[in-house]
Amino acid sequence: MRVLAVDPGLTRCGVGVVDGLPGRRARLVEVAVVRTPVDAPLAERLLAVSEALELAVARHRPDAVAVERVFSRHDVSTVMGTAQASGVALLAAARAGVPVGLHTPSEVKAAVTGSGRAGKAQVTAMVTRILGLDEAPRPADAADALALALCHLWRGAPAGGA
């Protein structure tokens, strides 16, 4: 099974592609971070994220797309950008006819580290170890996307997903 996972964001949007099956070693296919300029108009930033995600879906032909479920934060502007990028990811998957699973950050952390309260460094370390990488994926958005892909591989789409 191939999972393309998206850690949504407007400035940095993590994209990870992993092959694997439950109970088998997962394999890294690709990891990338889509970046957009902070000072660019919102519509242009969303277009850039959309084009990159649609290209990734077309190139990798995933069996599923996993997207981090947007959760409430204190900074409304951050949550709005994350939600908008998440919507673009959902749209890219829907256009390609690929099923989507939404996973909360704590669910992803628990799947990869065993603790839903793990920090970014612990998640990155476990992703590096699980995938047998020579070096940790950087920035954290890249590691988060890979953790999300692993979570989806191991747990599947949550009930009531997208």
Q: At what angle do helices 120-130 and 105-113 cross, to 10 degrees?
A: 50
Instruction: Report the length, in residues, of the chain.
Output: 162
Q: H/E element holding 103?
A: strand 100-103
Residue type, 73: R
Question: Catalytic residue at 141?
Answer: yes
Catalytic residue among 7, 19, 107, 144: 7
**Alpha carbons within 13 A on the beta-carbon side of 143:** 22
Question: Catalytic residue at 144?
Answer: no
Catalytic residue among 19, 107, 141, 144: 141
Pairing of strands 100-103, 27-35: unpaired
Termini Cα distance of the chain = 19
Catalytic residue among 19, 39, 44, 68: 68
**Catalytic residue set:** 7, 68, 141
